[in-house]
Amino acid sequence: MKKIKMSIFAVIAIVMGIAASAFTEANTKALPKTTETTYWFLMDASGTNVTTTQVSDPSTLCPAKILPDCAREYNESQTEIVGGVRQVKSSQVNAEIDFRSKD
């Protein structure tokens, strides 16, 4: 009788353990965040149109951050290569992630 009680207790403990594990989060490793490449594009002389001219650091040409009239930064997904030249997708022109001004 003692063995039966121990067996029943063991079965109940196992079932409870399985049931409890169903309500816990799976231990997943955090995936490393991938950073998307960004590109700086200069604006035209009027400061209203993005050109295809890229710069790696616009701070010398465009030292301020008042208006987006000198250079704009875009994620790679916001750009495309047309005829071998990278340019900003027309739908993304006003969705820059950063910008610089002349003054």
Q: Is 45 exposed, middle or buried (0-12, 13-18, 19+ CB in 10 A)?
A: exposed
Distance CA 60, CA 25 (A): 50
- pLDDT for position 103: 79
pLDDT in tens, 63-87: 999 999 999 999 999 999 999 999 9
pLDDT in tens, 29-41: 666 667 889 999 9
Query: What are residue 43's phi and psi, to 5 degrees?
Result: -90, 160
DSSP 35-53: PPPEEEEEE-TTSSSEEEE
